[in-house]
């Protein structure tokens, strides 16, 4: 059995340590882009650590998850402001309001059809927005499901977590929804990503587990050593494994396709890691709500 990789961690503080780095994604310009949930901003960090912040107006929107769009811009959700935002790599910003009021957009991803797709946690809907800003909403068959993260799956569908329904959903382009309940009660899934093995992997923040679901709905769950770790976000790495954040334990974890888990402590207590992504430089990058962006280099 191969040994797990060792990890070197470098942290880059944001100018306002109380701004709350939260979501993070790799941009089309070779940099990492992230949200500042507490101060209403979008940040950009180059792989050498050079950092720029673009304030949003108003600053109270609670920018949450961010993704690279199909149009060369970055798209993000504003959970408290009930908007979808777009920012170009030069900093030009536009926002769009979904038809359903107080819908609480949270997760967002680039879909297989050249449009971003997003969850409406407060309205039990999945939304699709064209690069021009036209929005279509698809209702879910469950009330109070709190759809959270969303990812393009290996089967041309959108896969998403339903935090309060304790289930994983799959949405076809025509709006048909399939619901897969989790085996473990109270799993409260949050993050989800398409893995390199043809399945989607997700976090169970309420049960301290990492889950795997195949396109036919088969679910496997893998318990973390610390059941109170509160795994949050997850991303596919170039090493064939998935990497995830442990929001409640100040760690980053890695899980192989066969379910082997290793974990890496972050420097300092109370770091609260949220989003995580594979960077263009081969490193993993994660947003720490304590006020830094961390770069994890494997060796």
* Mean pLDDT (whole number) for 206-221: 98
* Mean pLDDT (whole number) for 90-108: 98
What does the DSSP 8-state code read for residue 92? -
Two structure tokens written together for 199: 């399945």
pLDDT in tens, 121-147: 999 999 999 999 999 999 999 999 999
Q: Which residues contact 3 (CB under 8 A, 6 or more apart)?
A: none
Could you identify the residue written with the tokens 């310009």?
29
Q: Which residues contact 296 (CB under 8 A, 6 or more apart)?
A: 7, 8, 9, 243, 252, 264, 283, 284, 285, 286
Nearest Cα to Cα of residue 274 among 260, 292, 296, 259: 292
What does the DSSP 8-state code read for residue 268? S
Q: Which residues are annotated as a binding site for substrate?
A: 232
Give residue 174's pLDDT.
87
Query: What whole-number distance in Å separates Cα of residue 195 and Cα of residue 9?
Result: 24
Give residue 1's pLDDT.
64
Give residue 139's pLDDT.
97
Query: What whole-number distance in Å separates Cα of residue 276 and Cα of residue 288?
Result: 9
Q: What is the mean pLDDT of the chain?
A: 97
Q: Is the pLDDT of residue 224 over 80?
A: yes
What does the DSSP 8-state code read for residue 266? P
- The model carries a pTM of 0.97
* Mean pLDDT (whole number) for 147-172: 98
Stretch (H or E) spanning 195? none
Of the candidate ranges 41-45, 70-74, 170-174, 272-276, the one whose mean pLDDT is the lowest: 170-174
Q: Where are the domains of the chain?
A: 7-298
Q: State the virtual CA torsion across 90, 274, 294, 297 in degrees, nearest 10.
A: -110
Q: Are 156 and 112 in contact (CB under 8 A)?
A: yes
Q: Which residues are annotated as a binding site for Mg(2+)?
A: 272, 289
Give residue 222's pLDDT.
98
Q: Is the pLDDT of residue 21 over 90?
A: yes
Q: What is the DSSP secondary-structure string of 18-69?
A: TS-EEEEEE-TTSSEEEEETTTTEEEEE-TT--EEEEE-SSTTS-EEEEEE-
pLDDT in tens, 181-192: 999 999 999 999
* Mean pLDDT (whole number) for 94-119: 97
Q: Give catalytic residue positions.
A: 274
Give residue 5's pLDDT.
85
Q: Which residue has the higher pLDDT, 138 or 269?
A: 138
What does the DSSP 8-state code read for residue 27? -
Strand 83-87, strand 7-13: pairing: unpaired
Q: Which residues are annotated as a binding site?
A: 232, 272, 289
| CATH class of this structure's domain 7-298 | mainly beta
Q: Is the pLDDT of residue 2 over 90?
A: no
């Amino acid at each position: 059995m191969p040994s797990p990789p060792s990890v070197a961690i470098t942290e880059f503080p944001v100018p306002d340590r109380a701004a709350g780095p939260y979501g993070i994604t790799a941009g089309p310009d070779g940099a990492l882009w992230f949200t500042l949930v507490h101060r209403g901003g979008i940040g950009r960090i180059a792989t050498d650590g050079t950092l720029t912040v673009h304030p949003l107006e108003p600053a109270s929107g609670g920018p949450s998850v961010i993704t690279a769009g199909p149009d060369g811009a970055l798209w993000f959700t504003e959970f408290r402001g009930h908007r979808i935002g777009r920012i170009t790599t030069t900093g030009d910003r536009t926002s769009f309001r979904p038809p359903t009021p107080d819908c609480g957009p949270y997760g967002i991803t680039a879909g297989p059809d050249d449009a971003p797709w997003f969850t409406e946690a407060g309205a039990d809907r999945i939304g699709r927005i064209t690069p021009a800003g036209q929005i279509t909403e698809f209702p879910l068959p469950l009330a109070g499901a709190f759809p959270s993260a969303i990812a393009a799956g290996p089967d041309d569908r959108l896969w998403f977590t339903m935090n309060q329904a304790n289930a994983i959903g799959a949405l076809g382009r025509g709006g048909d929804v399939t619901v897969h309940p989790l085996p473990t009660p109270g799993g409260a899934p949050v993050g989800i990503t398409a893995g390199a093995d043809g399945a989607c992997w997700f976090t169970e923040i309420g049960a301290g587990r990492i889950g795997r679901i195949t396109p036919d709905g088969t679910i496997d769950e893998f318990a973390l050593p610390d059941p109170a770790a509160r795994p949050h976000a997850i991303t596919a790495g170039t090493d064939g494994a998935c990497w995830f954040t442990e929001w409640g334990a100040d760690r980053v974890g890695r899980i192989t396709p066969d379910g082997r888990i290793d974990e890496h402590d972050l420097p300092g207590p109370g770091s609260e890691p949220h989003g995580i992504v594979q960077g263009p430089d081969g490193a993993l990058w994660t947003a720490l709500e304590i006020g830094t962006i961390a770069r994890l280099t494997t060796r």
